[in-house]
Structure 1
């Protein structure tokens, strides 16, 4: 996953106003009718870091996406996996899954 800071072209120390300016420039340069995927990427990046609370939440809870199929193949030593997975790596995999499930429960909105 690409960092929201990189998507917007700002540093991690950027002020709210600088982030908003980069966002506005990004949506101006990438309107949804021209490139809807890029427009959505810019919107999501801005939502993730638009203010201090969002940036803190992002820095504390952002977990990079994990290629679970590759990790499981490696864990079970399937062909092309590159050997068995070390115990520490497998424990990291399990903790990543637990974190993602916990975050999914916390971020669910009531319907």
Structure 2
């Protein structure tokens, strides 16, 4: 099965703008009128990796082979990493991950130790 990056023909280090441009190019190439199933796949891939929050969720939960360090570096650079305190970093991660999933995993770890 192809990854979202492969479907859009972009690298894992692609910027939001590069991903959007690749999506628009694919939509022109495969319009929904004539390629409904392929368009659905392309649109789904775009929704999955269209921004940093979406990519972080994808990298953490749907794409275990991903290099999380690259994504984290990009997130830190875009959020003024030099002034990021531990509390701010925790808030950044919580905002990037669905809070219910974060709470479940935290509770699950506490109950299993």
Question: Over aligned residue pairs, what C-alpha RMSD do you find?
Answer: 2.1
| More relative contact order, 1 or 2 (CA 8 Å, 6+ apart) | 2
- Structure 1's consecutive aligned runs of 4 or more residues displaced over 3 angstroms after TM superposition are none
Give the total of aligned pairs: 67
Q: TM-score, normalised by structure 1?
A: 0.56
Residue 33 of structure 1 and its aligned partner are, at CA, apart by 1.2
Structure 1 stretches lacking a partner, 5+ long: 65-101, 107-111
Cα distance in 2 for residues equivalent to 1:24 and 1:33: 15
Residue 2 of structure 1 and its aligned partner are, at CA, apart by 1.3
Structure 2 stretches lacking a partner, 5+ long: 65-99, 105-113
Larger relative helix fraction: 2
Residue 63 of structure 1 and its aligned partner are, at CA, apart by 5.8
Cα distance in 2 for residues equivalent to 1:9 and 1:17: 14
Corresponding residue of 2:12:
12
The answer to whether the aligner puts 1:60 opposite 2:40 as a matched pair is no
Cα distance in 1 for residues equivalent to 2:63 and 2:6: 16
- From the CA coordinates, give the structure whose radius of gyration is larger: 1
Corresponding residue of 2:30:
30
Aligned pairs for 1:67-106 within 5 A:
none
Q: TM-score, normalised by structure 2?
A: 0.55
Aligned pairs for 1:38-57 within 5 A:
38-57=38-57
Give CA deviations for 1:36-77 in whole Å, capped at 9, x if unaligned: 00000000000000000000000001068xxxxxxxxxxxxx
Cα distance in 2 for residues equivalent to 1:22 and 1:45: 11
